[in-house]
Amino acid sequence: MDQWIQSIVERQIQNKKISVSEMEIYQYGYRLLIEKTCVFILTLGIGFMFHAWWEVFLFCIAFIPLRVYSGGYHTKKSISCMLLSVTVLICNVFLVRGFASLDMDKYLVALELLFFILLYYFSPVETVNRKIEVNEKKFFHKMVFFIYVIEILAEILFIIFGYDKFMLSFLVAHGFNVITVLSEVILQKIS
């Protein structure tokens, strides 16, 4: 992929569309565009293969905003990230369907409370690639709280209107956010 991106950028330089000084920025941008496009296509593919449009869509709606502000584990290579993302989305589908078939309402509320406490306590987590300034840390911490409260209110509305299964996608997304945050915290402690 990098060679392909390199040739595109070099062609743009030769055609005087960009300057040599902009080369790294364009390489990064193209790499990001290709990775995001692949993840989007894989996400749609999972929704299609498992007939799980709502489970996948709601998981992404709940997971992504919290992940942006909570931080947590990141793989070293983009291919690893994509494979892990696919695995997480497939697990989401099976977990939502599994929880939906069980009568566990009182346990799910306790689980959601546990996820909230853990995410609120440990977030945000900085990584080697993403250092967080003190003022950013305070802002990110507030955003995690704000987003989580909004998502809990959405879960309550799902339950009130009889869409319990939708609430489960949010719950699973929260669980995976906790896993990414705690994974990074543990990895930092042992290294």
- Give the model confidence (pLDDT) of 69-100 as tens digits: 999 998 888 889 889 999 999 999 999 998 88
Q: Which parts of the chain sit beneath pLDDT 70?
A: none
How confident is the model at residue 103, as a pLDDT? 75
How confident is the model at residue 18, as a pLDDT? 87
How confident is the model at residue 107, as a pLDDT? 83
How confident is the model at residue 128, as a pLDDT? 80
Indicate the pTM of the whole model: 0.88
Distance between CA 96 and CA 56 in Å, rounded?
10
Quick one: CA dihedral 120, 64, 174, 131, positive or negative? negative
How confident is the model at residue 85, as a pLDDT? 92
Within 10 angstroms of residue 80's Cβ, the number of other Cβ atoms is: 11
| Phi, psi of 125, rounded to the nearest 5 degrees | -110, 125
